[in-house]
Amino acid sequence: MNVTLAVKQYVTKMIENSGPGMKVLLMDRETKEVYLFERIDSKNRDNMKHLKAICFLRPTKENVEQLIQELRRPKYSVYFICKSFTEISLPVNPHLFSLNLQGVARGRSWDSSMLSRCTHGLTSVLLALKKCPMIRYQLSSDMAKRLGESVKQIITKEYELFDFRKTEVPPVLLILDRSDDAITPLLNQWTYQAMVHELLGLNNNRIDLSRVPGISKDLREVVLSADNDEFYANNLYLNFGEIGTNIKNLMEDFQKKKPKGQQKLESISDMKVVGELSRLVSERRLMEVSEVEQELACQNDHSSAQQKVRRLLQNPRVTELDAVRLVMLYALRYERHSSSILPALMDELSKRGVSERHRRMVKSVVEYGGKRVRGSDLITATDAVAITKQFFKGFSGVENVYTQHQPLLNDTLDQLIKGRLKDSQFPYLGASSLRDRPQDIIVFIIGGATFEEALSVYNLNRSSPGVRIVLGGSSIHNTNSFLEEVMSATGHSSDRPAGTGRHSNRN
């Protein structure tokens, strides 16, 4: 299963079905972020009767009204109307897609408009992949059950569209809730794509470098796409140490071959991006911060953890955001510990001048993903033998201590692949259940997925012969966008993290 290829094939078929001849693609204002041709709400389009128009639009009231106005005064010879799903489901990697939706929850329930948009986005992905799945959902999440029921209702209603060739083992759609694992989106990352999103922010493969010291005008915004950037494609899942070696080789090749045009621009862009990542890692003391984050997420030594968190809170080089998320991780990890020093850590945040908005976020994160909410055993005691195994199992290059953590999704999918995922925690919708181990798995996370989870899916696809997994989320999070999601869900949407907006840092 490849969501990038599926979308490309859909667009190709759409164009081919409109017959021979020159064509114009009409889109709404959101779809335009993916395919830059003509927008239906543009008032300055010329009459071009020699062209056929393919209307690639979401089925919204606004777009229908725009289309009616267009057809009353047609500018093109023929109109082919297609429902847009690339706006709703944006392929990020071959095994990863996003719906580009921020703030899907209000408390523990759906935002009224978001359930419909997630339903249509998810069913569009199923149609593109030609899958009619059995549906499983996280029992502890009413939102997961409602989305599953909504998707199943559309599949039942539009059964002819989902009448695909039957496979020996039916595909599975597994619907999860972000609140079951609030730790993963709070961790610093050490693979290329994940670091770029965490530290710089990926927005539809675009990166804003305008704040980079000394950046030239033509590099203030760069595009990183695995489709046309060889270095980016080859280094997506490599860790920071390996990236440093590879960028050195790229620089040497650049000096020898002196590439021109697009290849030159891509090489310079990658060098600038990696250089800025290195600067931020050093400036923000991120290796020290990440080591403590990993200890909080993976180990069970309260005495050591509290000392290290306190020491970092007193370091002026640690940013406000990094300080706050260390306290958030502590609050989630030691939420009910008898010797919790959370009040003292909150006082430390106040002493260093952390804003009231950021301090309130600590409580909001626990409200969003604390023990009372979770359906899984996210926090487990880790013995010394398990820690030793994790230490020697990590990536080369970057010290293993920075990559101990495995997202909860990794264990959930591992259990599903092995046929051990408990029906009592992840029931099926309907009477049927799967007797065989699944082969095609589409997993969707309400509230957003992360690139660390995408890395887990990538590795599981490589290590599980015969199993194909695609991951999707209402968005793809970094820490800032996740905190925005949390504040929206807990009723504090006006308290946005610094530097974020409703569509910022999305993918």
What is the per-residue burial (b if ≥16 Cβ within 10 Å, else e) of 147-184? Answer: bbebbbebbeeeeeebeeeeeeebbbbbbbbbbbbbbb
Q: Is 174 helix (H, G, I), strand (E, B) or coil?
A: strand
Is-contact 287 281, C-beta < 8 A? yes
Residue-level pLDDT at 380: 58
Residue-level pLDDT at 395: 41
Q: What is the pLDDT of residues 297-321, one digit of tens each?
A: 988 899 999 999 999 999 999 999 9
16 vs 316, which has greater pLDDT? 316
Instruction: For the domain made up of 90-181+407-490, give the CATH fold.
Output: Rossmann fold (3.40.50)
**What value does the mean pLDDT take over residues 482-486?**
94
Q: Which residue, chain included where needed, has tokens 């393919």?
A: 54
Q: What is the pLDDT of residues 150-194, one digit of tens each?
A: 999 999 998 888 888 888 889 999 999 999 999 999 999 999 999
Strands ordered across the beta sheet of 221-223: 202-203, 206-208, 221-223
Cβ-proximal residues to 169 (8 Å cutoff; 6+ apart), any chain:
434, 436, 437, 438, 439, 440
Q: What is the pLDDT of residues 266-291, one digit of tens each?
A: 567 778 888 888 999 999 999 999 99
Query: Per-residue confidence at 444, pLDDT binned at 50, 70, 90?
Result: very high
Sort 24 into a burial class: Cβ within 10 Å, 0-12 / 13-18 / 19+.
middle
Distances (CA, A) of 47 to 73, 80, 291: 10, 17, 61
Is-contact 164 131, C-beta < 8 A? yes
According to DSSP, residue 166 is labeled P
Q: Taking all residues of the chain, what is their mean pLDDT, rounded to a whole number?
A: 82
Count Cβ atoms below 10 Å from residue 400 Cβ, excluding itself.
Answer: 15
Query: Per-residue confidence at 394, pLDDT binned at 50, 70, 90?
Result: very low
List the one residue out of 148, 154, 217 whose CA is nearest residue 176.
148
**In the predicted structure, residue 333 carries a pLDDT above the cut 80:** yes
The full length of the chain comes to 507
Three-class secondary structure assignment of 433-501: CCCCCCCEEEEEEECCEEHHHHHHHHHHHHHCCCCEEEEEECCEECHHHHHHHHHHHCCCCCCCCCCCC
Residue-level pLDDT at 25: 61
**In the predicted structure, residue 249 carries a pLDDT above the cut 80:** no
Distances (CA, A) of 255 to 250, 252, 259, 327: 9, 5, 9, 45
Domain spanning 3-83, CATH architecture: 3-Layer(aba) Sandwich (3.40)
Give the tokens for residue 16: 């081919």
**In the predicted structure, residue 217 carries a pLDDT above the cut 60:** yes
Instruction: Write down the pTM of the prediction.
Output: 0.82
Domains 3-83 and 90-181+407-490 share a fold: yes
**In the predicted structure, residue 507 carries a pLDDT above the cut 60:** no
Q: What is the pLDDT of residues 87-102, one digit of tens each?
A: 456 888 889 999 989 9
Give the tokens for residue 145: 């059950």
The string of DSSP codes covering 178-192 is: GGG--SGGGS---BH
Residue spans of the domains in the chain: they are 3-83, 90-181+407-490, 192-257+264-284, 286-369
